[in-house]
Structure 1
């Protein structure tokens, strides 16, 4: 590293990060300035919060990550100028999974992606999207660069592979999240709060107008659609609950799929995953830090859920399909078929067979057991069911509660 990047005693400013990215690419057009609001909020949060407690290795990785996101932004804008066909791509009626983390959304997204007619972004193209696919097959060097960048970051948090086992076998070829892998280009992602953010960044995510960031999401899909052979996007992002109104406005014909799971399982799993991510500060995560992060995760998830429910009321229930995790696990093919029936689509035999074949080769605990319990994070049925009462009333899910059970 050179210049400010070599000075790990302080967090670089947004402008310094942008200058570093520009020096690496030779261009300086980052697109709509409104898409920089997340960077300013995140850097302020890092500087005030996690920076002082990070090791030099963790600081260097953070700077590299932030700079690379900006480098990617610069390249996307440059490609869009050079190839007008990108902006002419139409994103039609995407299937978008919008449920909370650890509610079966990744599994459902995977099953949707197995339809030969569907397109689903992968990690590598979110990290190395330029040049566009229409210009030729990506080189091995490009794929290797994406793989290394992902593994370097995760080297500080090896337990992430138990919670996300697909990363072991598929690496950067694994399916990407809309939030952590695409909207993070606008520095608007819940994952960034888990990694480095404090209360100020959490409040930014909850209160800001994210239209500009969702617009970047749309531009990114246009970019990677040019040269793709699919006909319909299958997307997933638990972060979408933070900006459902903006998402529904950007994609008025989108089919929105909200995943639900018993909160005693979903919230404990979420708290455990977010506690693991604390390792990105370079230090071992203590039991006390795990419990504290678990409590913060639970409070944040309620705030997100409450906001999403209010947005959904304004959008209209008819735009949403509610997917029951427990029913999906009981019969994966029928679970997906119900979604297709609701969306006015026909599930092909090829798709059903692909789901069965995938499930036969991917067992949930193949790479280790993700162990966690609600008690570990101070979660009680009484407290959760009181806090999530309006959610339980509407959808039938609570702590130890599923539709059809007596509360």
Structure 2
């Protein structure tokens, strides 16, 4: 059933007036042949080298993904001035991080001997409860999970018992405040906080190989390229970053990224003892939810957001990921994957967690269970607002979606 337009969360996403004026100025400058915030490889690499005072890139295969992304951003994304400024800052940060990671691994090769044992990895289509489950399981002190601040700036490797708060926490808080200003409805769809658990997908940005870029911008040629990648080397680099982050902060990793469903073969090859959880939810709910999130995210980077175009884009994208994951599970029956239904997770979260622990041969003690119950009480589903959306809003129908997800 269609909802009234005013009830949709995307309609609450009222961007600040100065943003419209700045983007207007950017369009005027572009007509005069003046391009602010250039998104070209040479400029970005030079900026990262200057900022970090480093120049050893290590394995330079990442540049193929970077070049592909930049071409798509410049030719397909219809970026606004604010979008270009924001993306340029982001890309320079990622390149700077890559230089610092390379330098740290070069100075401390022993980092790559850091063990990663039986990581608990959550995956599934986006908007299927992966974030909720990760943050619930994060109440178990045995787990080491990724905080947003260390994802945004992994070097120097964080210390578990640092004598004072890491200054990177404050830097990450400024970034979350920027998101809140530029896309006011973003936290309703996906709450972000500097010290909140976040998805490991962000580390794949350092390899310029992740669907996260597609969430921000219309980049179909980049998506086409990404689908041809086997991703084994990218997952190996992901593992190296996890080793770096757990060097001075050990623990059993609790990780999540919906996009793992795309590359289960690479994931299980690089993490052969991984304990994998796959979440499931009605695709007729998943599709409009991810479309709503993408619409709000893209509003930061462009003034031209085509709702029906986003609907078709994500229908095709999620269908392809769903089929690839299903094919892997059919062909590789030895993979240790625990299935979790969204309805059961939200209605009976503690019982669902108990079932997960039992599946993998782990024990849920009473103290940890109580911590989880306290977290649930303090974090009701509507704590940051109610996310409202519909299939019709994005030009989709139940029949069309169900045909793609048998």
TM-score bracket relative to the smaller structure: 0.7 to 0.9
Q: Whole-Å Cα distance in 1 between the matches of residues 39 and 289 of structure 2? A: 33
1:254 to 235, 254, 274: 274
1:215 corresponds to 2:225 = no
Q: Whole-Å Cα distance in 2 between the matches of residues 135 and 380 of structure 1? A: 49
- How large is the RMSD of aligned CA atoms in angstroms? 1.9
Deviates more, 1:324-333 or 1:193-202: 193-202
Matched with 2:382 is 365
Partner deviation per Cα, 1:206-255 (whole Å, 9 max, x = no partner):
2212122111110110011011142x111000111222111110000001
2:149 to 124, 141, 151: 124
Matched with 2:185 is 159
2:257 to 237, 251, 264: 237
- TM-score (norm: length of structure 1): 0.87
1:121, CA displacement in angstroms? 0.5
Matched with 2:49 is 22
Deviates more, 1:146-155 or 1:306-315: 146-155
Deviates more, 1:151-160 or 1:12-21: 151-160
- The size of the alignment, in residue pairs, is 372
Greater share of residues in helix? 1
Q: Whole-Å Cα distance in 1 between the matches of residues 288 and 85 of structure 2? A: 31
The answer on whether the counterparts of 1:100 and 1:260 sit within 8 Å (CA) in structure 2 is: yes
1:264 corresponds to 2:281 = no
Change (3 A) 1:12 1:160: same
Q: Whole-Å Cα distance in 2 between the matches of residues 57 and 381 of structure 1? A: 36
Q: Whole-Å Cα distance in 2 between the matches of residues 256 and 56 of structure 1? A: 41
Matched with 1:178 is 200
Q: Secondary structure of the equivalent of 2:299?
A: helix
Partner deviation per Cα, 1:128-173 (whole Å, 9 max, x = no partner):
21111249726553221222234335532221111113x2xxx211
Matched with 1:301 is 318
1:33 corresponds to 2:60 = yes
The answer on whether the counterparts of 1:274 and 1:297 sit within 8 Å (CA) in structure 2 is: no
Higher relative contact order (CA 8 A, sep 6+): 2
Matched with 1:225 is 246
Q: Secondary structure of the equivalent of 1:235?
A: strand
Q: Whole-Å Cα distance in 2 between the matches of residues 260 and 387 of structure 1? A: 15
Matched with 2:327 is 310
1:338 corresponds to 2:355 = yes
Q: Whole-Å Cα distance in 1 between the matches of residues 317 and 328 of structure 2? A: 17
Q: Whole-Å Cα distance in 1 between the matches of residues 81 and 354 of structure 2? A: 49
Q: Secondary structure of the equivalent of 1:366?
A: coil
1:57, CA displacement in angstroms? 2.1
Partner deviation per Cα, 1:179-199 (whole Å, 9 max, x = no partner):
1x2111111221201212421
- TM-score (norm: length of structure 2): 0.87
Q: Secondary structure of the equivalent of 1:222?
A: helix
Matched with 2:114 is 89
Q: Secondary structure of the equivalent of 1:281?
A: coil
Q: Secondary structure of the equivalent of 2:230?
A: coil
Deviates more, 1:137-146 or 1:65-74: 137-146
1:146 to 156, 165, 172: 172
